[in-house]
Amino acid sequence: MSVSRRSPAYQIDGRVSIALDALDERQRRAVGAMIANRDRFLESTSDPSRIRKISRTRPLYALEAPDGLRVIYSHVGDEIVVMDLMHQATLDQFRRKTSLPNDRRVKGEEIHQEVS
């Protein structure tokens, strides 16, 4: 996996940079602010109603972003990896192919642990 930005326990995969380049300036600023650093990302994920688990077997989640975009990320222990950025329609296509149940919202305490 190529990583474009890395800090302790926080990584952003290179695919995210490519996806950001395809957005208009307003969208790029909004998503960029959400993922700028670990603290901003954790702040963005503080509302569990904006997060959906997208894999039954892996710790993969989709965070709602403006204009139907979703930030795809993994969260294991303290380690967060922002893996991709896609539209909800694309996720819906994957869901149909993999038969994931609709609207698998998760509770915040299942996703995030206290970071010291």
Tens-digit pLDDT profile for residues 46-74: 999 999 998 889 999 999 999 999 999 99
Cα 46 to Cα 79: distance, rounded to the nearest angstrom: 16
Per-residue pLDDT reduced to its tens digit, 5-36: 566 799 999 999 999 999 999 999 999 999 99
* Band (109; pLDDT cuts 50, 70, 90): very low
> Is 69 part of any domain?
yes
What pTM was estimated for this model as a whole? 0.76
Please report whether residue 112 resides in a domain.
Answer: no
Please name the residues in contact with 8: beta carbons below 8 A apart, sequence gap of 6 or more.
Answer: 38
Asked if the structure places residue 110 within a domain, the reply is no
For residue 9, the enclosing domain spans 3-102
In a domain, 38, yes or no: yes
CA-CA distance, 71 to 32, in Å (whole number)? Answer: 11
The amino acid at residue 72 is: I
Dihedral Cα 9, 48, 86, 101, nearest 10 deg: 120
User: 18 lies in a domain?
Assistant: yes
CATH number at residue 93: 3.30.2310.20
- Assess if residue 39 is contained within a domain: yes
